Amino acid sequence: MDPRESPRVRWSVVGLLAWLGLKRGDTYPNVDALLAELRRALPDDESVVLRYIAAVVVLLGKVAGADADGRLTENEEQTLRSSLAHINGLSSDAIEALTRALKGKLPELRDEELALCVRELKTLCDGRERVEILRLLAKVAAADGRLSPAERAELHNVAADLGVPESELAAVEEEIA
């Protein structure tokens, strides 16, 4: 049996999200898969840290993958890997697993799963941290040399969802231009 399918892993993932008021029957298969990868990669980290990393990784993939089929370009993937390498305790194997999980699940993310990630970040981060997340999203999305109109639109959507003022987003966009 695949370890990701074990009842213990499934219940722990459900437990990670329960504090948001989500019912046991709610399913977030793509986010759950990413959280399971994180739990394997960082078994000693607290649930809140894993939820934060998962939410940021999902939004990174969403903004950077906004073009065409929702896939990351090679440069965007390399920038994502480089950004993940700055997370203490995240091994190269864990980065590979996260990237693989994200590449496989990103095109399948449902609106409810994206909303869940935004709720997580709004709960876990203050205004300054939200701007830093946008800076990271913009950096990864612009790794191929520019922000495409689709990436820019997605970045604006995320900023609005996170409650980041347009003026602060404009400053972030100017930094990466």
Instruction: Report, as an integer, the average pLDDT of 149-159.
Output: 92
CB 31 within 8 Å of CB 117: yes
Which one is predicted more confidently, 17 or 172?
A: 172
pLDDT band for 70, please (50, 70, 90 cuts): low
Collapse the DSSP code of 160 into the 3-class scheme (helix H, G, I; strand E, B; otherwise coil) and give the result. Answer: helix
User: pLDDT tens across 36-63, in order?
Assistant: 888 888 888 888 888 888 888 888 877 8
With beta carbons less than 8 A apart as the criterion, state whether 121 and 59 touch.
yes
105-130: average pLDDT: 85
Please report, for residues 118, 150, 165, 172, the alpha-carbon distance to residue 162 in angstroms, rounded to integers and kept in the order given.
Answer: 7, 18, 9, 15
**Which of residues 42 and 69 earns the better pLDDT score?**
42
Q: What confidence tier does 101 reach under pLDDT thresholds 50, 70, 90?
A: low
Give me the helices (H) in 85-148, please: 92-105, 111-124, 127-141
Contact yes or no for 22/87 (Cβ under 8 A): no
Segment 63-78 shows an average pLDDT of 72
Domains and CATH numbers, the chain: 3-176 (1.10.3680)
